[in-house]
């Protein structure tokens, strides 16, 4: 049962986390404004550097079913039977299959998942999603946020009872919330980087890769992940260190 609330919630960032959280909060009766500094086209770009697949197991599937997203997302989901891991060139593959047919293991492209979330947001009367809007400031004491329209360059200060940062690793929200506080925090960055690529349906057949298994090929400090798509291709990630033996 939805709860009616007068609290105004602002979410900064319209990626997967920001969009899904907006839907969950709106379903509970909250009014939610989502602000995104990029355009809708940039966020939805299937060729963006973050278009690799996402897999869901028990807990992820459960929360999707509790929301209004599950029914719309089902046509885009690809059931998986398990995973294959190869630890070295000369080792035998380790095949890990799901032991129980009732335990679902599902793959979906990031682009398709975001498409479904954005459609749900468009249809929800309690969510306003605004693109090309950058966060300039948060006033914790006055409970306001300052937003810049990247198209018109207009700047507005708006009331907001709750501000949630869903704006990624280099979060602008985090910076503002830590101002004036005695806080200790640290950030660590992976020594590796990644490039995405696609294994075509034709190449997958030549390599005898199945469309119901996720794949990992690993070495000492690098590896490849590959997740199947409905068209028989695999969305893949190459992870390498950022040194002379890697991407540098």
Tell me if 235 is assigned to some domain: yes
Under the banding of pLDDT at 50, 70 and 90, the label for residue 248 is confident
Under the banding of pLDDT at 50, 70 and 90, the label for residue 49 is low
Please list the residues that pair with 164 across neighbouring strands.
11
Q: In terms of domains, do 168 and 232 share one? A: no
Parent domain of 32: 8-73+111-178
Q: In terms of domains, do 198 and 233 share one? A: yes
Q: In terms of domains, do 47 and 123 share one? A: yes
Under the banding of pLDDT at 50, 70 and 90, the label for residue 1 is very low
Tell me if 53 is assigned to some domain: yes
End of a domain among 178, 211, 226? Answer: 178
CA 170 – CA 18 distance, rounded (Å): 15
Q: In terms of domains, do 118 and 199 share one? A: no
End of a domain among 147, 178, 209? Answer: 178
β-pairing, 127-130 vs 133-139, is unpaired
User: Mean pLDDT over all residues of the chain?
Assistant: 89
Q: In terms of domains, do 45 and 141 share one? A: yes
CA 227 – CA 169 distance, rounded (Å): 24
Q: How many CA atoms lie within 13 A of 14 on its CB side?
A: 32
Task: Please report the pLDDT score of residue 4 as a whole number.
Answer: 53
Q: In terms of domains, do 103 and 127 share one? A: no
The mean pLDDT value for 63-71 works out to: 88
pLDDT tens digits, 138-154: 998 899 999 999 999 99
Q: In terms of domains, do 58 and 15 share one? A: yes
Over the chain, what HEC string results?
A: CCCCCCCEEEEECCCHHHHHHHHHHHHCCCEEEEECCCCHHHHHCCCCCCCCEEEECHHHHHHHHHCCCHHHHHHHCEECCEEEEECCCCCCCEEEECCCCCCCCEEEEHHHHHHHHHHHHHHCCCEEEECCEEEEEEECCCCEEEEEECCCCCEEEEECCEEEECCCCCCHHHHHHHCCCCCCCCCCCCCEEEEEEEECHHHHHHCCCCCCEEEEEECCCCEEEEEECCCCCEEEEEEEECCCCCCC
Tell me if 246 is assigned to some domain: no
Q: In terms of domains, do 156 and 59 share one? A: yes
Under 8 Å CB-to-CB from 48, ≥6 apart: which residues? 42
Which segment of 60-69, 99-108, 160-169, 181-190 scores lowest on mean pLDDT? Answer: 181-190
Of all residues in the chain, the percent with pLDDT exceeding 90 is 62
Tell me if 183 is assigned to some domain: no
Q: In terms of domains, do 91 and 34 share one? A: no
Q: In terms of domains, do 228 and 116 share one? A: no
Q: What is the CATH number for 47?
A: 3.50.50.60
The mean pLDDT value for 70-81 works out to: 93
Tell me if 1 is assigned to some domain: no
Total of domains in the chain: 2
Q: In terms of domains, do 134 and 235 share one? A: no
CA 224 – CA 162 distance, rounded (Å): 40
Tell me if 199 is assigned to some domain: yes
What is the model's pTM?
A: 0.85
Q: In terms of domains, do 128 and 236 share one? A: no
């Amino acid at each position: 049962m939805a709860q009616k609330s007068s609290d105004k919630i602002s979410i900064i960032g319209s990626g997967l986390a920001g969009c899904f959280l907006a839907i969950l909060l709106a379903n509970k009766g909250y009014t939610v404004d989502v602000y995104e500094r990029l355009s809708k086209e940039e966020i939805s770009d299937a060729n963006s550097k973050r278009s690799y697949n996402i897999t869901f197991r028990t807990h992820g599937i459960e929360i999707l079913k509790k929301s209004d997203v599950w029914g719309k997302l089902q046509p885009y989901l690809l059931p998986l039977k398990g995973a294959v891991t190869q630890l070295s060139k000369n080792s035998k593959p380790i095949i890990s299959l799901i032991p129980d047919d009732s335990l679902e293991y599902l793959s979906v492209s990031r682009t398709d998942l975001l498409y479904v979330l954005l459609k749900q947001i468009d249809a929800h009367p309690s969510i306003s999603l605004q693109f090309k809007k950058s966060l300039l400031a948060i006033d914790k004491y006055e409970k306001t946020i300052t937003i810049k329209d990247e198209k018109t360059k207009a700047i507005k200060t708006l009331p907001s009872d709750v501000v949630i940062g869903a704006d990624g690793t280099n979060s602008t929200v985090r910076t503002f919330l830590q101002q004036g506080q005695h806080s200790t925090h640290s950030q660590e960055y992976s020594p590796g980087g990644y490039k995405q690529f696609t294994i075509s349906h034709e190449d997958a057949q030549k390599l005898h890769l199945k469309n119901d298994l996720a794949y990992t090929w690993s070495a000492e400090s690098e590896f490849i992940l590959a997740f199947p798509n409905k068209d028989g291709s695999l969305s893949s990630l190459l992870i390498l260190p950022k040194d002379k033996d890697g991407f540098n």
